[in-house]
């Protein structure tokens, strides 16, 4: 790079000298009374002037091409840097969405696994084997922690979400995480009855577990607001307002929590698409 820079400066110096000499020769008639042409001779004078003009024109062309190449090189470097930065941002966004998707799948898996193992011989007190239940509760706790981790990462990654309103995603993740917390809390605080090697569900004592596994506590009002949340044609303000109306009601509802996780995932995908379209 230093050699190229030195060579370019040398050529520029030659061009300046050639241009200066050309000006002097061109002014020979009007300023010097043709003394230079008489001293050199007519033909040598013409050849020298032609050589100097060619040198000036060649140097100017070289300067133009060099400047253009350098600008193209800078543009290409900037493009590569932008592409590398975009690739990193896209990878980070996809990692967040992947973590959220895994938590969603884990939540669904726990629900289906427990429901498939429910003993419903007593409809009022369905039961689940102790080992199956405890294993699934551990998985549910892991899903809750994963959702909270995604929420925390989104809150701190200003490089990914600079100048973006993240309240809709944050509200969705908050609801989902708190719902999973509520379900696990029925187990953690011993609200669910254990007898021998089984756990017994009771709608009154464990409303969150009951909603998660057996009977949704979703009211008509909540269902209406949930429909607004999942409607992609609605504005973010409408969806945020609907989520706010739901979030103040207890107990939290599994159907809403699942929809919130899907909503957050779809919003993250929109950020990925926006990054892919950036120059």
Residue 236 confidence (pLDDT):
85
Residue 3 has pLDDT above 70, yes or no: no
Residue (of 262, 176, 256, 173) closest to 222 by Cα position: 256
On average, the pLDDT of the chain sits at 88
CA distances from 156 to 1, 18, 90, 178, 264 (A): 41, 61, 16, 20, 16
Whether residue 271 contacts residue 160, with contact meaning beta carbons closer than 8 Å, is answered with: yes
Phi first, then psi: give them for residue 7, nearest 5 degrees.
-65, -40
Q: Residue 78: exposed, middle, or buried by beta-carbon count in 10 A (0-12, 13-18, 19+)?
A: exposed
Provide the whole-model pTM. 0.74
Residue 168 has pLDDT above 60, yes or no: yes
Per DSSP, what are the bridge partners of residue 131?
none
Averaged pLDDT, 70-84: 80
- 2 band by pLDDT with thresholds 50, 70 and 90: very low
Q: What is the distance between the alpha carbons of residues 213 and 125, in angstroms, rounded to a whole number?
A: 13
Residue 84 confidence (pLDDT):
78
DSSP H/E element including 193:
strand 193-195
């Amino acid at each position: 790079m230093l050699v190229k820079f030195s060579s370019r400066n040398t050529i520029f110096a030659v061009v300046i000298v050639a241009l200066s000499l050309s000006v002097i020769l061109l002014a020979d008639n009007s300023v010097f009374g043709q003394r230079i042409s008489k001293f050199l001779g007519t033909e040598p004078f013409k050849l020298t002037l032609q050589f100097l003009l060619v040198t000036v024109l060649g140097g100017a062309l070289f300067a133009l091409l060099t400047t253009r190449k350098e600008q193209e090189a800078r543009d290409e470097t900037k493009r590569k840097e932008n592409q590398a930065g975009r690739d990193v941002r896209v990878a980070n966004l996809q990692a967040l969405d992947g973590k959220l998707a895994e938590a969603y799948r884990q939540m669904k898996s726990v629900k289906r696994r427990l429901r498939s193992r429910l003993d419903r011989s007593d409809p009022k007190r369905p039961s689940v084997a102790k080992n199956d239940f405890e294993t699934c509760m551990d998985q549910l706790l892991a899903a809750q922690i994963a959702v909270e981790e995604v929420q925390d990462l989104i809150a701190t990654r200003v490089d990914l979400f600079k100048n973006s309103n993240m309240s809709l995603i944050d509200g969705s993740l908050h609801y989902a995480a708190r719902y999973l917390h509520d379900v696990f809390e029925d187990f953690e605080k011993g609200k669910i009855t254990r007898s021998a090697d089984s756990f017994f569900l009771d709608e009154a004592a464990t409303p969150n577990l009951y909603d998660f596994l057996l009977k949704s506590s979703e009211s008509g009002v909540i269902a209406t607001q949930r429909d607004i949340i999942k409607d992609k044609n609605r504005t973010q303000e409408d969806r945020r307002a609907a989520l706010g109306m739901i979030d103040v009601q207890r107990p939290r509802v599994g159907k809403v929590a699942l929809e919130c996780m899907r909503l957050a995932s779809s919003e993250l995908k929109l950020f990925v698409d926006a990054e892919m379209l950036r120059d």
